[in-house]
Structure 1
């Protein structure tokens, strides 16, 4: 143990409280600020002084109040590594936290430092061992109470938090710029492509089967990476998403996809309720046989159709098919004939190319910001490892 540092369990630092109340249907444009558990993953970093959601006063009375300095944990998540992500609330206003959260109060530490520490690699390892469940992982206050942390004196905590705040502010500014660029990309796509099944009248529309050829190339061996499709990140290695046992299961029936060929994942999510379509960006890959795979015919611009599908151009037709109840019982039972029967616009080749060029340039701007944010995030993670373990000690001015 470093000189002046102490080791303690969270249960000995303060008191735990359970978040409660607040459903999505209760949210409003103005009211009592609230923190929802999903926002701990999607919106906030380690520290926040602002909240983005609000509930009416009567709904807030059923929720758990939070105050300056509270540490709010997400009590459920999709993976053991994500479980128990923490955010320090440093707002100077009345607010509430909803269900699936656990709140640590009166801990006596610098809240920003403590939140950084609780999201550091060593503590994440402890929390991941405590998570319970398979598809949804849960962690409880009694579990968090046993998490052990090493704490420097308060002046050193504050200095470390001040240093890390510099990185947080830089990342927040870049994330705000990225959000603005994404909005621009969405607006440009809507203007150039048409959304909601409404395309420019001058464009001919044909069934997808008329401009593409279905790919059903069954795996016959060979050194192909096994891939799945995520609505958020596109193609990704199956081993990154699933457990090793599942990733090592038989792939005899998987489809061999070549670079530039498309695959449609029928699995829905909050961000892609009608599935997602991406072109393969590597030489070859194996994809699950339940995917609908296809190659565009000659004369069709791959970039144009990649942007078109990413903009949800088929969503309106897929929604009508799924809700008709005639041939399909939900998205996963969608027939290939129905999918390939969906109509897509076929602009002149020159117009496809010019639209693709404009949208690709806009998307590349977002990609550059993604990489810059990733770089700063990795820099901050490395800095945290040095500062939060005491490997690098900070100089603290003595009080007069």
Structure 2
């Protein structure tokens, strides 16, 4: 049995007593000072507006002061008193309360009720925040533009009044819960901010790349644009949603907060066009250039907005219009001085990159997946907040990615999202590549951006460092690579530890390439050792390539020919330097696809090896067949 259950059983066996607020407290109105009376030092005070904007439930120190002469005419709250804001613009906020827990009395402004009571102040504030009080408050609130609750009516409100010991235990539990909620809210807010930045980065990168490689059209070429009816409607308490400029926020429309119109008004405002699900609405005046998806066909447009009915993939177009590039274009082209407006003519001129339909679909799918994550967080989080005393805020996650064609190269700079940390860049690059592989089947990346490629080094004179000692380091030379072999498993010579310090160390699993004579031939190391300056080493590629796939890729005719064309000439001998290899543009399919390709190529190699003993002609035929399919499998159609 919990402590609270035990206390209730012991102290309230027949139930908790209810009393009116007037029975346990005296209620008075606040004073008459205004914000203009603030001074830097003086008598501490609380203005009613600060109850809504600055303070949570409990206050120990004030942020404002008034002069002592002004204070002489004011009303004061004593330590432990409740201060309630009794006027508001809406019924949901009116009667927000705080407990003054400071050591001295403070001046309180007008539009408040000061509640002096004999209960636990924190318990009383918690109760005044509860749904039980909210239900009673709605019955006594009055007004239209300004909602008010009079102190006389507050006297009639009923409050559950358990013994003080029970109140203290309830406060202890709620305080612990509030602390956990605050921590969680802070974490979720930070996560939301991070995810939003990540979403915006990927979204903008995606759209920017499409601008670079796709046909650019005007919005009027890919959508039909309808203006709103320039009339002021009559609103009602229920009915159809009317979407106004202020309802378009963050790409969404919160229907619960839209003003409503009756059917006859809706018929008038939709006579020209009925907004459809996934149409896009845009604000034109004031907070101009904001876009949102229409949630259903049961709404109409208010003044100063327009509707965009897409003729291409609507979700793709939505993400384009939400991008930073579109925002920058709007800011550079919108007209007006005192009040700028986003004219219909300008809306029609908004540039839109238009890739092929299948690319639009894939991009929309990827971005919608991130939007779904954000929506789940944004919609599901308030549900979690309700489950935890409605103290969480709903947040959305957008993780975006970018799209590119086979000619687009992912660079380190493009993945560096305002950070100099290598681990962050590495994580960004991996995420982008995986999403490119999902959308296009492969990513195109410069080899040097995903692997460490360095030239070997030779201690000189080399004879001084050659050793026969078992403690020596493997000294890898071209003669250690067998004919048609894939691996280097041993060396004929070793060098001393001193010589190794003057050379380039390599480890088991690294690749090495000969950079002269029969240059470009890849080998996989099965030993640790050192390489001279006639080799290039390739390492740190494991996050992107299965080693056997990389071996086949580097052995392919296409890459061998490219290295041959790029190799510089040193006399009569071609030399392959590290910069050439770093500049190679490699197509990277997913790891699963790499394994599938490896399986096919290995089967051809087995056939070739089996035939070598007796059928030279068949060997040659199979070898050519193997090379044909190898190069075919490693060549991807450009999108």
Which range, TM-score by smaller chain?
0.5 to 0.7
Cα gap change, 1:122/1:213 in structure 2, threshold over 3 Å: closer, same or farther? Answer: same
Secondary structure in 2 matching 1:149: strand
Instruction: Say if 2:212 is the partner of 1:212.
Output: no
Asked if 2 retains the 8 angstrom alpha-carbon contact of 1:71 and 1:88, the reply is: yes
Secondary structure in 2 matching 1:180: helix
Cα gap change, 1:313/1:374 in structure 2, threshold over 3 Å: closer, same or farther? Answer: farther
Correspondence 1:147-166 to 2 at 5 A: 147-166=157-176
Asked if 2 retains the 8 angstrom alpha-carbon contact of 1:66 and 1:96, the reply is: yes
Once the two structures are TM-superposed, the CA of residue 170 in structure 1 deviates from its matched residue by 3.0
Q: Quick one: distance in 1 between partners of 2:278 and 2:31?
A: 47
Cα gap change, 1:351/1:379 in structure 2, threshold over 3 Å: closer, same or farther? Answer: same
Correspondence 1:275-294 to 2 at 5 A: 276-282=290-296, 284-288=297-301, 290=303, 291-294=305-308
Which of residues 138, 141, 153 in structure 1 aligns to 2:151?
A: 141
Query: In the alignment, which residue of structure 1 is the partner of 2:183?
Result: 173
Query: In the alignment, which residue of structure 2 is the partner of 1:295?
Result: 309
Once the two structures are TM-superposed, the CA of residue 279 in structure 1 deviates from its matched residue by 0.6
Secondary structure in 1 matching 2:114: strand
Secondary structure in 2 matching 1:14: strand
Q: Choose between structure 1 and 2 for higher RCO, CA contacts under 8 A separated by at least 6 residues.
A: 1
Cα gap change, 1:231/1:50 in structure 2, threshold over 3 Å: closer, same or farther? Answer: farther
Once the two structures are TM-superposed, the CA of residue 83 in structure 1 deviates from its matched residue by 2.0
Cα gap change, 1:171/1:266 in structure 2, threshold over 3 Å: closer, same or farther? Answer: farther
Cα gap change, 1:35/1:101 in structure 2, threshold over 3 Å: closer, same or farther? Answer: same
Q: Which blocks of at least 5 consecutive residues in structure 1 are unaligned?
A: 219-224, 329-333, 382-400
Query: In the alignment, which residue of structure 2 is the partner of 1:114?
Result: 124
Once the two structures are TM-superposed, the CA of residue 7 in structure 1 deviates from its matched residue by 0.9
Once the two structures are TM-superposed, the CA of residue 302 in structure 1 deviates from its matched residue by 3.6
Q: Quick one: distance in 2 between partners of 1:363 and 1:168?
A: 29
Q: Quick one: distance in 2 between partners of 1:89 and 1:178?
A: 29
Asked if 1 retains the 8 angstrom alpha-carbon contact of 2:86 and 2:111, the reply is: yes
When the two structures are aligned, how many residues end up with a matched partner? 350
Once the two structures are TM-superposed, the CA of residue 293 in structure 1 deviates from its matched residue by 0.8
Q: Deviations over 1:189-216 (max 9, x none)?
A: 665678xxxx989958976545532147
Asked if 2 retains the 8 angstrom alpha-carbon contact of 1:102 and 1:140, the reply is: no
Q: Quick one: distance in 1 between partners of 2:349 and 2:105?
A: 47
Correspondence 1:248-259 to 2 at 5 A: 250-255=265-270, 256-259=274-277
Query: In the alignment, which residue of structure 2 is the partner of 1:308?
Result: 323
> Which has the larger Rg?
2
Q: Deviations over 1:308-337 (max 9, x none)?
A: 38x96687469x645446xx7xxxxx5752
Q: Quick one: distance in 1 between partners of 2:39 and 2:310?
A: 44
Query: In the alignment, which residue of structure 2 is the partner of 1:13?
Result: 25
Once the two structures are TM-superposed, the CA of residue 262 in structure 1 deviates from its matched residue by 0.9
Q: Which blocks of at least 5 consecutive residues in structure 2 are unaligned?
A: 1-11, 230-238, 391-639
Q: Quick one: distance in 2 between partners of 1:362 and 1:95?
A: 50
Q: Quick one: distance in 2 between partners of 1:315 and 1:126?
A: 48
Task: Give the TM-score taking structure 1 as reference length.
Answer: 0.64
